[in-house]
């Protein structure tokens, strides 16, 4: 099976600090891959390199047959690579509905002019986009608040809105940067099932950064581990959990008896 996403020797440094050091990764269609590693390991920077938000110093990224190494974030999103952010990014002054509708416009065939002139094709597209946004908000459990402002939402609901917005891009690959962060324990429990559900429903491939180890182990087909910018392990959750290099990275040294 050929990879949906192929990163080769990606490197990025900030001043003297090598945040991501020659990382290569192939994500297969349909898999849920976990990305773990200690704080500052380079996980978010790796996502930023894949999504065009940070330029790579060297290396390449191929997504769904396209070389996206130097592509702009919007172009990458419109190819079907969507993400959520560790520090949630929403339009706080827009309604939930508009936050999702804006993302849905990425695939609009009628341009801005069509929208201004209100041509039949653009009106139809608007209507479809609105219906789809509503469906996505219903799916994430926010249908009762579509006209509320995003800024008024509690934290856990903002995370769900962000996922709805990412799904509005009709992604093939969804990158989630710590989706469980800030959720309460019952919300956390439901998240793994929710991710499995949207993966099946939308035929997604998922790459997930998460510190919640039981969740990663239960959810992911494979797990990669970054430490100080380098990939130190890659494999099944069971193999990675037993890997001495991983244990050392997390415990910071002595691995005797740590497993």
CB of 69 within 8 A of CB of 58? no
Three-state DSSP class for 150? Answer: helix
The 41-60 site mask, x for binding ligand ATP (CB under 6 A), equals xxxxx---------------
How many angstroms separate the CA atoms of 84 and 89, rounded?
Answer: 8
Contacts to ligand ATP from residues 10-39, by CB under 6 A:
14, 17, 19, 37, 39
How many chain residues are in contact with Mg ion, going by CB under 5 A? 3
Q: Does 44 bind Mg ion (CB under 5 A)?
A: yes
The whole-angstrom separation of Cα 61 and Cα 80 is: 14
- CB-based contact 140:90 (threshold 8 Å): no
Residue 33's binding partner out of ligand ATP, Mg ion, none, with CB under 5 to 8 Å set by partner kind: none
Q: Residue 34's binding partner, choosing from Mg ion, ligand ATP, none, with beta-carbon cut-off 5 to 8 A by kind?
A: none
CB of 28 to ligand ATP, least distance (A): 23
84 binds ligand ATP (CB under 6 A): no
For 6-29, letters b (16+ CB in 10 Å) and e give bbeebbbeeeeebbbbebebebee
Residue 157 to residue 219: CA distance in whole angstroms: 21
Using CB distances below 5 to 8 A depending on partner kind, what does residue 80 bind out of ligand ATP, Mg ion, none?
Answer: none
CB closer to ligand ATP out of 14 and 155: 14
Residue 14 interacting entry, from ligand ATP, Mg ion, none, C-beta within 5 to 8 Å by type: ligand ATP
**Does residue 225 interact with ligand ATP by CB under 6 A?**
no
| Minimal CB distance residue for Mg ion | 44
Q: Which stretch binds Mg ion (CB under 5 A): 59-67, 86-94, 113-121, 242-250?
A: 86-94
Distance CA 222, CA 160 (A): 24
Tokens of 56: 């790579």
What's the chain's Rg over C-alpha atoms?
19
Binding pattern for the stretch 117-156 against ligand ATP, x by CB under 6 A and - elsewhere: ----------------------------------------
Tell me: does residue 86 bind Mg ion (CB under 5 A). yes
Give buried/exposed letters for 218-253 (b at 16+ CB in 10 A, else e).
Answer: ebbebbbbbbebbbbbbeebeebbebeebbebeeee
Closest distance to ligand ATP from the beta carbon of 43 (Å): 3
**For residue 83, what are the β-bridge partners?**
175
Q: Which residues bind Mg ion (CB under 5 A)?
A: 43-44, 86
Q: Which residues bind ligand ATP (CB under 6 A)?
A: 14, 17, 19, 37, 39-45, 86
């Amino acid at each position: 099976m050929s990879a949906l996403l192929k990163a080769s020797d990606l490197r990025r440094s900030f001043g003297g600090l090598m945040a991501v050091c020659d990382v290569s990764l192939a994500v297969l269609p349909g898999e849920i891959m976990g990305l773990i590693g200690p704080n500052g390991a380079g996980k978010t920077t790796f996502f930023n390199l894949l999504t065009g938000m940070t330029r790579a110093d060297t290396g390449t990224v191929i997504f769904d047959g396209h070389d996206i190494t130097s592509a702009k974030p919007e172009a990458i999103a419109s190819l079907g690579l969507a993400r959520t952010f560790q520090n949630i990014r929403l339009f706080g002054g827009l309604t939930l509905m508009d936050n999702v509708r804006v993302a849905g416009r990425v695939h609009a065939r009628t341009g801005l002019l069509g929208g201004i002139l209100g041509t039949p094709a653009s009106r139809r597209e608007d209507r479809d986009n609105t219906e789809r946004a509503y469906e996505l908000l219903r799916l994430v459990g926010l249908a009762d608040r579509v006209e509320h402002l995003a800024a008024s939402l509690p934290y856990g609901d903002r995370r769900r809105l962000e996922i709805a917005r990412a799904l509005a891009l009709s992604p093939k690959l969804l990158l989630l940067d710590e989706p469980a962060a800030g959720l309460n324990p019952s919300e956390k429990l439901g998240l793994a099932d929710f991710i499995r559900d949207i993966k099946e429903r939308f035929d997604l491939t998922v790459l997930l950064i998460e510190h919640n180890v039981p969740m990663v182990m239960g959810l992911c087909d494979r797990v990669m581990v970054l430490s100080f910018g380098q990939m130190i392990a890659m494999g099944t959750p069971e193999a990675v959990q037993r890997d001495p290099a991983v244990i050392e990275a997390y415990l910071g040294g002595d691995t005797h008896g740590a497993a």
